[in-house]
C-alpha cells in the first residue's frame, strides 16, 4: 500500500473583484493575464521557492474559450515566467472548478506525484458570460434527461424560490446588501488587501491606471512569507 504524504496549503492570492460588462474595470483586461498576474504575485511572495520546483499548474475556468481557454494551466505558467518544463492543465467543473483544481492537486501531492504545485481558477464574466457560447445537446431536453430550467441559472433561481417560498426577494436583497457591507468593512479594516495582487487596468482611452481600491494595495505591505 502506498504511503500517503501530508499536504500543506502554503499561500494564496487573488486579484480584486470587478463589475462585469463594459463598465467593469477589467473590460479591457484578458482573463489569462489575470491568472498570470496572480501567479507572478504568488511566486514573488515566496522567493525561497525556485520556479523549477513547481511541478504542476492546474487552473480552472467554466467558459474555456478565447483568452480563457487554451489549457490555462500550461499557457499561464509559461507567461508567468515558470520554466517551460513545468506542465499544466485546465479544469471545468462550473462553480466548483477552482476548488476542484485545489483538491485534485492536493490528492496528487498526497500520493507522491508532486512536491510543489499551483492550483486556482479564473472567471472573467465581463468577457465570457457563463453559457454565452454554450450549445447543449438537444437530447438533454428532447429525451427529458434534464428539465429545460436546469440549463438556465436564472430560471433555476426561480425554481429554488418556488421550492422555498420563505426565501423572498426582500430577504435575498437584504442578505446581499449585508454581504456588501461586510466586504466593505473588511476592506476598510485592511483585512483583504494582504492577499490581493495589484493589477493595472486599461481604460477605453488606452491609458493604464490603478483601480481605486488598488491604490493602497500598490504600496505593498510587508508580506508574511510562508515556506514550503
**What digits encode the pLDDT tens for the residues 38-67?**
999 999 999 999 999 999 999 999 888 899
* Domain assignment of residue 195, yes or no: no
Alpha carbon distance 221, 7 (integer Å): 28
* Domain assignment of residue 190, yes or no: no
Q: Which parts of 7-132 fold into alpha helices (H)?
A: 31-45, 72-79, 97-110
Each residue of 151-187: pLDDT tens digit? 777 788 888 888 999 988 899 999 999 999 999 999 9
Q: What are phi and psi of 59, to 5 degrees?
A: -125, 130
Domain of 5 in residue numbering reads as: 1-131+201-211
* Domain assignment of residue 91, yes or no: yes
How many independent structural domains does the chain possess?
Answer: 1
* pLDDT at position 208: 60
Each residue of 94-105: pLDDT tens digit? 889 999 999 999
Q: Which residues contact 152 (CB under 8 A, 6 or more apart)?
A: 131
* Domain assignment of residue 84, yes or no: yes
* Domain assignment of residue 223, yes or no: no
Q: Are strands 208-209 and 201-202 parallel, antiparallel or unpaired?
A: antiparallel
Whichever domain contains 70, its CATH number is 3.40.47.10
Residue of 30, 96, 92, 93 lying closest to 64 (CA atoms) = 92
Residue of 28, 35, 14 lying closest to 82 (CA atoms) = 35
DSSP state of 70: S
* Domain assignment of residue 33, yes or no: yes
pTM of the predicted structure, to 2 decimals: 0.82
Each residue of 185-212: pLDDT tens digit? 999 999 999 999 999 887 666 666 655 5
* Domain assignment of residue 225, yes or no: no
Each residue of 103-162: pLDDT tens digit? 999 999 999 999 999 999 999 988 888 777 788 899 988 998 988 877 777 788 888 888
Q: Residue 75 — pLDDT band, cuts 50, 70, 90?
A: very high
Kindly report the average pLDDT of the chain as a whole number: 86
Q: For the chain, what is the largest distance between any 2 Cα atoms, rounded to a whole number of angstroms? A: 61
Grid cell, residue 193, equals 488587501
Using a pLDDT cut of 90, give the percent of the chain over it: 58
Cα-only R_g, the chain: 20
* Domain assignment of residue 179, yes or no: no
Alpha carbon distance 99, 183 (integer Å): 21
How far apart, in Å, do the first and last CA atoms of the chain sit?
26
Amino acid at each position: 500500500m502506498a504511503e500517503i504524504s501530508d499536504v500543506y496549503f502554503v499561500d494564496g492570492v487573488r486579484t480584486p473583484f470587478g463589475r462585469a460588462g463594459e463598465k467593469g474595470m477589467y473590460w479591457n483586461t484578458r482573463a489569462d493575464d489575470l491568472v498570470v498576474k496572480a501567479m507572478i504575485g504568488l511566486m514573488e511572495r515566496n522567493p525561497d521557492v525556485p520556479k523549477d520546483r513547481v511541478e504542476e499548474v492546474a487552473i480552472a475556468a467554466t467558459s474555456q474559450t478565447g483568452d480563457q481557454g487554451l489549457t490555462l494551466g500550461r499557457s499561464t505558467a509559461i507567461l508567468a515566467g515558470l520554466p517551460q518544463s513545468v506542465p499544466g492543465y485546465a479544469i471545468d467543473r462550473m462553480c466548483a472548478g477552482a476548488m476542484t483544481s485545489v483538491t485534485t492537486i492536493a490528492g496528487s501531492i498526497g500520493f507522491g506525484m508532486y512536491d510543489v504545485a499551483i492550483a486556482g481558477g479564473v472567471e472573467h464574466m465581463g468577457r465570457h458570460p457563463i453559457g454565452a457560447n454554450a450549445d447543449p445537446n438537444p437530447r438533454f431536453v428532447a429525451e427529458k434527461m434534464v428539465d429545460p430550467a436546469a440549463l438556465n441559472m436564472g430560471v433555476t433561481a426561480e425554481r429554488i424560490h418556488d421550492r422555498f417560498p420563505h426565501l423572498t426577494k426582500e430577504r435575498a436583497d437584504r442578505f446581499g446588501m449585508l454581504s456588501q457591507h461586510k466586504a466593505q468593512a473588511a476592506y476598510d479594516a485592511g483585512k483583504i488587501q494582504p492577499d490581493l495582487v495589484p493589477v493595472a487596468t486599461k481604460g477605453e482611452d488606452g491609458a493604464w491606471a490603478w483601480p481605486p481600491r488598488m491604490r493602497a494595495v500598490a504600496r505593498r505591505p510587508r508580506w508574511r512569507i510562508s515556506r514550503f
